[in-house]
Every structure is written in structure tokens, then in C-alpha cells.
Amino acid sequence: MELEQLQLELITRFSEQQLISGVISQSRSKTESAGKIKIKPVEIKGLYHIQLEYHFDQTITHENKLPSEMEETVRELLDRYRQLQMNWAGESVHIQLSKKKKVTMKRSVTDNQPPVELSHNRKKNYVLDPDVVHPFLVHLGVQTKDGKIKNQKHDKFKQINRFVEFVEDSLAYLPTDQPLRIIDFGSGKSYLTFALYYYLKELKGYEVNITGLDLKKDVIAHCEKLARELQYDGLHFKVGDITDYNNVQQVDMVVTLHACDVATDMALGRAVKWGARVILSVPCCQHELFTQLDSPALAVMTRHGLIKERFASLATDSIRAQVLDLVGYETQLVEFVDLENTPKNILIRAYYTGAQPKPETIAETKAFVAFLQAKPFLVNELQEELKGVLT
């Protein structure tokens, strides 16, 4: 098959709504393109769309297009990628493009495919089934005793499930031959801490030892009482601060949600020093870089306080992700929903791989920090682990 014929076939199949799912991979450019792109059909406001999910090293983004808008997209994708796995109604097709864009295609018939669910309003497959009684959710006031999600708690239930999804994605990086040691800094009312224990211990059967830390004595006392009522023997709550918690030498997972300003950096630094395999962190109130930004090239942004604040926040999280990559983690910045106010927030998700930092990662991090004329707290916190790569 010629390249032009392949383009026409893809465009036609998209317009005829034959798509079940697809994955596009093997980018011709390793620096600019997403590592892979997942494709699926979705229904938005009653209209059929093609959703493209772009997987970069540290971020995942989405783009929704009408079938009529796919022609140029198809041409661009075939120009930038060498492999496609497309699942159409009744047929699966593997497509390989050579360096000179010669097309090789393998087709196979697929029978009994389930119909594609397009509606965004369909029942979601939650990790925590809303039709099952979860004792900790009853005690926390999210569910009634007969297992119904309370009307005013539906958003909270969704948010708890979103967090559990992140935990589920992390399982491959956690050890299975020993009890898991987990620290939750700034656990607060501990909806997510209880969910973490319930999912790992009750649903997955892991042996766990989880400690929730917070400075509010009354909140800690309430959570500790609830943990004892639920007979969660591996879950404990203590009054404590990130800076003075030195009771352990090694931790498998560190969770920190809404630790204010450099408290997030302190938690990230402590997690790295403990050798944490998984880090899940939702930063809050990043003020550190706000007073440091002094690049003339940014004047059109920094003269506006609101814009400067938002840019400083994004720059802070970008640097955090880069620094974690430099000390052996695979890091992504993904969307997370705040438990109280429900705006979309950034969650730093980092898995330890032990990979040595790439020269280009070192170079671009140095250049970015120099451009901002910044002195990031986390860089100073991890001087020993960074081994001078940013100096």
C-alpha cells in the first residue's frame, strides 16, 4: 500500500466512525514528539469526536477532534510516527512505516468486539465500586450504612477514586517481598490516607505500615481514633512536621498533598533521601520563585502579579520534576482534583528507576534555572544526590 492510500483509508475510517481504539508510537523525533498517542472515540455534547491522548515523558495531554478535522492530523501523524496499531470495528490492523515511509500492514479479523461506550455520562468503572459498602467511607461520612454515596459527597467520592487510581498505577514500582512503609505528610482529615490503607491492605492484600503526619492535634486524635475503630492495625496518625520526622530510615512511598510552599520541597527531598520508590505530591502555594524571578525576557508576564504568580507556580513544579529526573526518577506532572475546591491541580508522580540523568536533561535544567535567575530550594536540598550536576 502507498502512503497516500493509507492516509485515505485512515481518514475514511475515522469519518465512518469505525474506530474502537488505537496506539501510535515510534516517533521519528525523540525530542519533540510524544512517546506514544492513544486514540479512542468519545461523545462530547452529543457529537462524535476522536480523542488523542499524547504521552510525553512528564505530561499527558488530550486533544478532541471531529472526524472532519482529522485529515491534516492524519498526515502529520504519518509524517512523525512509524508505527500504528488500529482497532477498527471487525478488524485489527498493525501498520509499520519505514524510514522512507514504505507501508507494511498486517490485518486480522476481530469477532465479538464489545460496542464502544462513547458517552461521558456513562457509569464510570471506579476502583472503589459505588455500589459496595466501604467501611472507611461510612465512618468518614461519604457513604450511608447501606452503601449509598451521600448526595453532597459525590464529588469527594470521585476525588478519592482518582487518587486510588494513581496508587493503582504505582503498584508495579512497589516491593512485594516485604511490608510497605508509607508516609503521608500533611494528612489532614485523611480521606486519602484511609483510602490508601483500604485499597492496599483490604483490596490488594499488601502488608502495610502507614503513618499520617499533621500538626493539628485534634485532627490527628480523631483520625487515630477512627483507625482503631476500623481495626486498621497498620495505620497510625501522629502529630509531626516534615522537618523533624526522623523515625524511619527507609520508606517505599511518600504522599504529600497541599504541603505549602517549600514544605513540598522538604517532603520531596526527604522522600529521595529515604529511597522512596513512589512519590505522589500535590503542591500548594508555591511562593519561593515569585520573589526570585528577575529575567528581563519575562517582563511582559512578571509585571502582572496574577500572571507572575501562576508562572512562578508552573516553573516551580517544572523544576521539581526535572530535579527528580536527575536523581533517578521517572516523573510526570498530571492533573489532580483538589478535595475541597475541585479545581484541577498538578500532581507530581515520580517512580524510582535508578536511571542515570541524560545529558540533555542536565543541560535544559541548567539553562532553565539560569534563565529564571532562580535558586530553587529543592536543588539545595538535594545537593549531595545531584552530585554537582547543576552547579
Instruction: List, for residues 279-294, the tens digit of each pLDDT value.
Output: 999 888 778 888 888 7
Q: How far is CA 245 from CA 212, 238, 270, 317, in A?
A: 11, 10, 9, 24
CA atoms of 162 and 100, how far apart (whole Å): 43
Task: Kindly report, residue by residue over 136-160, the tens digit of the pLDDT.
Answer: 999 999 999 888 899 888 888 888 9
CA atoms of 361 and 325, how far apart (whole Å): 8
- Model pLDDT, residue 229: 93
164's grid cell: 486510588
- Model pLDDT, residue 122: 46
Task: Kindly report, residue by residue over 220-247, the tens digit of the pLDDT.
Answer: 999 999 999 999 999 999 998 777 777 7
Q: Rounded to the nearest 5 degrees, what angle is found at the Cα of 63, between the Cα atoms of 59 and 67?
A: 155
Q: Is the pLDDT of residue 352 over 50?
A: yes
Annotated domain spans of the chain: 3-109, 135-386
Whole-number percent of the chain with pLDDT over 70? 93
Which of the pair, 207 or 337, is modelled with greater confidence? 207
- β pairing state of 180-185 and 253-260: parallel
Average pLDDT of the segment spanning 356-369: 91
Give the pLDDT band of residue 344 (cuts 50, 70, 90).
Answer: low
- Model pLDDT, residue 269: 93
Q: Which amino acid is at 292?
A: Q
Q: Which residues does 327 contact at the CB level (< 8 Å), separation at least 6?
A: 272, 357, 382, 385, 386
- Model pLDDT, residue 338: 52
- Grid cell 552547579 — which residue? 391
Q: DSSP secondary-structure letter at 295?
A: -
CA atoms of 166 and 385, how far apart (whole Å): 26
Q: Range with the lowest mean pLDDT among 100-114, 178-192, 377-391?
A: 100-114
CA atoms of 309 and 291, how far apart (whole Å): 10
Give the pLDDT band of residue 263 (cuts 50, 70, 90).
Answer: confident
Task: Kindly report, residue by residue over 190-216, the tens digit of the pLDDT.
Answer: 889 999 999 999 988 999 999 999 888
Q: Which residues does 147 contact at the CB level (< 8 Å), separation at least 6?
A: 131, 132, 133, 134, 138
Superfamily of domain 135-386, CATH level 4? Vaccinia Virus protein VP39 (3.40.50.150)
Average pLDDT of the segment spanning 63-72: 91
Give the CA count within 13 Å in the CB-facing half-sphere of 163.
Answer: 27
Q: Rounded to the nearest 5 degrees, what angle is found at the Cα of 305, between the Cα atoms of 299 and 309?
A: 95
3-state class percentages of the chain: helix first, strand second, coil last, to nearest 5: 40, 30, 35
Task: Kindly report, residue by residue over 162-172, the tens digit of the pLDDT.
Answer: 899 899 989 98
Based on its alpha-carbon atoms, the radius of gyration of the chain, rounded to whole angstroms, reads 24
The structure's pTM equals 0.69
DSSP of 21-46: EEEEEEES-TTTS-SEEEEEEEEETT
Q: Which residues does 260 contact at the CB level (< 8 Å), separation at least 6?
A: 284, 285
CB 348 within 8 A of CB 321: yes
